[in-house]
């Protein structure tokens, strides 16, 4: 299956990525330039030398609809129409001909269990302090991992879930886990609590866009996100099994964090400059404890910037609106946002890229 690195090669071929060789700080500077580029329909940015770190940062991967569709290999409408047609066929009683068509479509709707993969190249040599995680907005509560694929398993049924939830970095081996009560990860944690046990968690960072999109999408209950990613990409997702967690995760991830969440433990998380254009307030959330970090050789850290319109969440959101399951949450999302505005978010996101980047900005004006 193609991985993140092949996606970057495609962007280079399409002249839709700019490589930054100057040193930019992971606190505000990288996100400020990315914010400017995204609001001006610019390319994705690959920072080759984040200040104080040895590994690259990619940001803006989903910054435009055209780029999103290029990386997915099909348009948003094609994804939606194809998947809708698939489920209509499944829900009906297909005849022989339709059954053969269904089999052809579903041949990659599964995973490829492998014994090892590139992500298993190294472990034990880095902590979170060695990963160029970003602080995106001036009044964020700290650095946040914003493009994680968080993998858990139902403690009762064994059913997998992969979702994207922001993770505030607390120290070199713990983060927050932004599991709102309605999220599947939170439901898994609640079941673990009833069983008086911790919940195993694996966090994959730097994956193929089809995996990232599957993780973000509100898929119907019971649909495996990795299998859906295989369906989207046309190739089964290779997965490896964790060594300190009873979970499988994408073998070609750039980074994987293996660890656990204690259902009895919470900690303050936030503020966070969110997709509403406001800072979400401080609240209590579960804590993720890292037991082991695996990574590829010369790993690339993937970050997503959300915030005031326009940012990466816009193309992703538009794709989800058309995706199967998306329609079911649009009304609820609008309701939640209107309630959030009535609650009055503590503070609106305001940032001046020119002030933060100062002399650097002159070189990179589009």
Pairing of strands 199-205, 255-269: antiparallel
Q: List all residues 6 or more positions away from 328 whose beta carbon is below 8 Å from its beta carbon.
A: 218
Phi, psi of 273 (to 5 degrees): -70, 105
Q: How far apart are CA 279 and CA 186, in angstroms?
A: 22
β-strand partners of 122 = 295
Q: How far apart are CA 39 and CA 311, in angstroms?
A: 7
Are the C-beta atoms of 333 and 316 separated by less than 8 Å?
Answer: no
pLDDT recorded at residue 57: 98
Residues acting as catalytic residues: 274
Q: How far apart are CA 245 and CA 160, in angstroms?
A: 13
Are the C-beta atoms of 298 and 292 separated by less than 8 Å?
Answer: no
Q: How far apart are CA 149 and CA 63, in angstroms?
A: 18
β-strand partners of 280 = 272
Are the C-beta atoms of 88 and 236 separated by less than 8 Å?
Answer: no
Closest CA to 254 of 217, 211, 317, 200: 211
pLDDT recorded at residue 118: 96
pLDDT recorded at residue 61: 93
Mean pLDDT per block of 10 residues along the chain (366 residues) reads 90 96 96 92 96 97 91 83 67 55 61 92 95 96 97 94 96 96 91 97 96 85 84 90 97 98 97 88 96 97 85 72 49 40 51 64 70
- Write the DSSP assignment of 65-110 as a string of letters: HHHHHHHHTS-HHHHHHHHHHHHHHHHS---HHHHHHHHHHHTTSS
Please give the helix or strand (H or E) that residue 332 lies within, else none: helix 326-343
Please give the helix or strand (H or E) that residue 256 lies within, else none: strand 255-269
Domains, in order of start, for the chain = 4-364 (2.30.110.10)
pLDDT recorded at residue 74: 84
User: Residues in the chain, how many?
Assistant: 366
Closest CA to 325 of 218, 210, 242: 218
Tokens at 141, concatenated: 């509560």
Work out the number of other CB atoms within 10 angstroms of the CB of residue 99.
12
């Amino acid at each position: 299956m193609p991985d993140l690195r092949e996606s970057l090669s495609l962007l280079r071929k399409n002249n839709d990525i700019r490589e930054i060789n100057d040193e930019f700080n992971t606190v505000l500077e990288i996100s400020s330039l990315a914010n400017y580029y995204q609001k001006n329909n610019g390319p994705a940015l690959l920072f080759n030398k984040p200040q104080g770190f040895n590994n690259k940062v990619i940001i803006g991967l989903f910054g435009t609809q055209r780029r999103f569709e290029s990386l997915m290999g099909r348009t948003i409408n094609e994804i939606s129409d194809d998947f809708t047609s698939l489920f209509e066929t499944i829900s009906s009683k297909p005849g022989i001909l339709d059954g053969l068509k269904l089999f052809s479509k579903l041949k990659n709707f599964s995973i490829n269990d492998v014994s090892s993969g590139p992500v298993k190249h190294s472990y034990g040599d880095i902590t979170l302090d060695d990963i160029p995680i970003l602080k995106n907005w001036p009044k964020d509560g700290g650095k946040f991992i914003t493009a994680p694929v968080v993998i858990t398993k139902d403690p009762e049924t064994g059913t997998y879930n992969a979702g994207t939830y922001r993770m505030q970095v607390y120290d070199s081996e713990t983060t927050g886990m932004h599991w709102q009560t309605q999220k599947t990860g939170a439901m898994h944690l609640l079941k673990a609590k009833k069983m008086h046990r911790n919940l195993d968690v694996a966090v994959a960072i730097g994956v193929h866009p089809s995996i990232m999109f599957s993780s973000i999408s509100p898929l119907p209950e019971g649909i495996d996100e990795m299998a859906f990613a295989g369906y989207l990409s046309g190739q089964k997702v290779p997965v490896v099994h964790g060594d300190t967690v009873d979970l499988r995760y994408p073998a070609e991830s750039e980074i994987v964090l293996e660890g656990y969440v204690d259902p009895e433990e919470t900690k303050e998380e936030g503020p966070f400059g969110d997709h509403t254009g406001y800072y979400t307030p401080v609240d209590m959330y579960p804590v993720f404890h890292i037991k082991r970090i695996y990574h590829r050789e010369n790993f690339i850290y993937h970050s997503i910037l959300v915030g005031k319109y326009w940012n990466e969440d816009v193309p992703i959101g538009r794709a989800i609106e058309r995706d199967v399951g998306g329609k079911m949450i649009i009304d609820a999302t609008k309701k939640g946002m209107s309630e959030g505005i009535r609650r009055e978010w503590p503070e609106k996101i305001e940032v001046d890229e020119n002030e933060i980047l100062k002399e650097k900005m002159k070189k990179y004006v589009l």
